[in-house]
């Protein structure tokens, strides 16, 4: 688990959990998150993602989860976060064929990792909700 790299104020900003095994996606999403005045809380596996969410619950404002993590499907993490945090806005990185499970969990957004406009729209809504935009 790590915060947005090279940002001395990252811990003071609202956090967005990012759980994906793809390094390029992590970098792109973390940069977009920082653009909105938020900080990325990076997790590369399921256990780290859940621990990071629990340890940072007071500052967590959203989560972006890869539907295809290595050992536990992203849907399981989404379910746990949904049960634990209730109204936490979740976004799922997946193809649209995976929409049904995400909808069942109240996902705020479902988009492919390459869908930058959808990512920007989701992050913009988070930034507005915490009044940092």
Q: What is the per-residue pLDDT across 10-56, written as a single tens digit (0 to 9) for each?
A: 567 899 999 988 899 899 999 999 999 999 999 988 889 999 999 99
Per-residue pLDDT, 5: 47
Q: Show the domain range for 40.
A: 19-57+83-95+126-133
Q: Report d(CA 133, CA 131) in Å as an integer.
A: 6
- Is residue 13, in this structure, part of any structural domain at all? no
Q: Report d(CA 21, CA 46) in Å as an integer.
A: 10
User: Which positions ≥6 away from 32 have C-beta within 8 Å?
Assistant: 116, 119, 120, 123
56-88 per-position pLDDT tens digit: 999 999 999 888 776 666 667 778 888 888 778
- Is residue 43, in this structure, part of any structural domain at all? yes
- Is residue 25, in this structure, part of any structural domain at all? yes
What's the predicted TM-score (pTM) here?
Answer: 0.82
- Is residue 41, in this structure, part of any structural domain at all? yes
User: Which positions ≥6 away from 1 have C-beta within 8 Å?
Assistant: 41, 42, 43, 48, 51, 52, 55
Task: Return the residue matching tokens 């988070």.
Answer: 126
Region 111-132: mean pLDDT is 84
- Is residue 14, in this structure, part of any structural domain at all? no
The count of structural domains within the chain is 1
């Amino acid at each position: 688990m790590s915060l947005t790299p090279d940002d001395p104020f990252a811990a003071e900003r609202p956090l967005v959990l990012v759980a994906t095994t793809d390094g390029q996606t992590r970098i792109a999403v973390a940069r977009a998150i920082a653009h909105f005045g938020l900080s990325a809380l990076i997790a590369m596996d399921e256990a780290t993602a859940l621990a990071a969410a629990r340890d940072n619950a007071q500052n967590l404002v959203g989560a972006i989860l890869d539907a295809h993590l290595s050992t536990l499907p992203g849907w399981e993490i989404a379910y746990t976060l949904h049960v634990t945090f209730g109204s936490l806005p979740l976004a799922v990185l997946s193809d649209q064929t995976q929409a049904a499970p995400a909808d069942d969990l109240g996902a705020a957004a479902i988009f492919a990792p390459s869908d930058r406009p959808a990512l920007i729209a989701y992050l913009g809504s988070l930034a507005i909700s915490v009044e940092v935009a």
